[in-house]
Amino acid sequence: MSGPAGPAGPEEVHGAQAAQGAVPAADEANASLPARAGEERLAEPVVRTGMFGVATTGDTSGYGRLRVHRPPPLESSRPYGSYFDTVADALGAALQAAGVGYSDAIERVVADRGELTFHVRRQLLPEVAAQFRDDPALRFELCTGVSGVHYLEDTDRELHAVYHLLSITHNRRVRLEVSTPDTDRHIPSLVGVYPTCNWHERETWDFFGIIFDGHPALTRIQMPDDWKGHPQRKDYPLGGIPVEYRGAKIPAPDERRHYA
């Protein structure tokens, strides 16, 4: 399985043995007696942050070390599997016929969890999307929306617009992902290719501040027209107030303890 579970790391066993083997000096042993430690803790000025003062991951059980770190593949190489190679070949042929270089338009391809993602360079997005829609071997008639994602730490590629395409003719799905730096948040609009993107792009502008160049009327759609900021960006706080429940104060959701 690819869930978070995995075999307990050998470090854990190793660490336990090491602790048993070490003979601490008498003073040190005295210092770490529970009673002493408890008194010291009580004497300390307590500053509470969030819930129960936990500032780190809050994991005291070692359970967190069972975590399997597996970053998503940044780039897949051929064969991608499934119908993905057919789609990539057809796209290459279509782009060539249109006079656009495949590697000029497609930054990289990711095949992950049975889904195919083309990372498209933003200036060529409308050309690529038009090929996806029109080429008989591709024929992705339907765009099922735009979804913005704000990767705060992905410098110079912070804002992503993700387009999900569906081919009814071939019963296939692909995803186009476009990234743009936060300092220059422009992506060409796809309304000309897929008119359904109209509201979706307005929503993405509203929530992430991505400006879709060429959109017929890029105005806010969910938030009020005079709203400041773009609420679903990661640097925009969730907000909220602490709530008292049975005598205890529960902090606002974004200040609660959470586990990385």
Partner 1 sequence: MSAPQTPTAPAGADDDAAEGRVYTVSGEDWDEVVAAANEARDFEGGERLVINMGPQHPSTHGVLRLILTLEGETVVEVRASIGYLHTGIEKNMEFRTWTQGVTFCTRMDYLMPFFNEAAYCIAVERLLGIEDRIPERAQIIRVMLMEFNRVSSHLQGIGPMGMELGATTIFLQGLRMRERILDLYEMITGLRMNHAYIRPGGLAQDLPPGALEAIRTFMDGAPKLVHDLRTLIDANPVFIGRTKGVAYLDLASCMALGVTGPMLRATGLPWDLRKSQPYCGYETYDFDVPVTDTCDAYGRYILRMEEIEQSLKIVQQCVDRLAARGPSGPDDPVMIRDAKIGWPAQLSLGPDGLGPSPEHIAHIMGQSMEALIHHFKLITEGFRVPAGQVYAAVESARGELGAHVVSDGTTRPYRVHFRDPSFTNLQSIASLCEGGQVADVIPAIASIDPVMGGVDR
Question: What residues make contact with partner 1 under the rule CB under 8 A?
Answer: 1-5, 58-59, 61, 63, 66-72, 112-115, 117, 141-145, 147-150, 162, 164, 166, 168, 171, 173, 175, 194-196, 198-200, 203, 209, 211-226, 231-232, 238, 253-254, 256, 258-260
Query: Closer to partner 1 at the Cβ: 1 or 18?
Result: 1
Query: Closer to partner 1 at the Cβ: 35 or 61?
Result: 61
In whole angstroms, the minimum distance from the beta carbon of 253 to partner 1 comes to 4
In whole angstroms, the minimum distance from the beta carbon of 232 to partner 1 comes to 5
Q: How far is CA 12 from the centre of its chain?
A: 30
What own/partner pairs with CB < 8 Å and gap ≥ 24 does 156-162 have? 156/181, 157/181, 158/182, 159/185, 159/208, 159/209, 159/210, 161/187, 161/204, 161/210
> What's the rounded Cα separation, in Å, for the pair 118 and 164?
10
In whole angstroms, the minimum distance from the beta carbon of 107 to partner 1 comes to 16
In whole angstroms, the minimum distance from the beta carbon of 93 to partner 1 comes to 23
H-assigned helices in 22-163: 26-31, 34-43, 84-97, 102-105, 125-134
Query: Closer to partner 1 at the Cβ: 41 or 69?
Result: 69
Q: How far apart are the first and last CA of the chain?
A: 21
Query: Closer to partner 1 at the Cβ: 11 or 153?
Result: 153
Query: Closer to partner 1 at the Cβ: 86 or 144?
Result: 144
Residue 12, H or E segment: helix 10-21
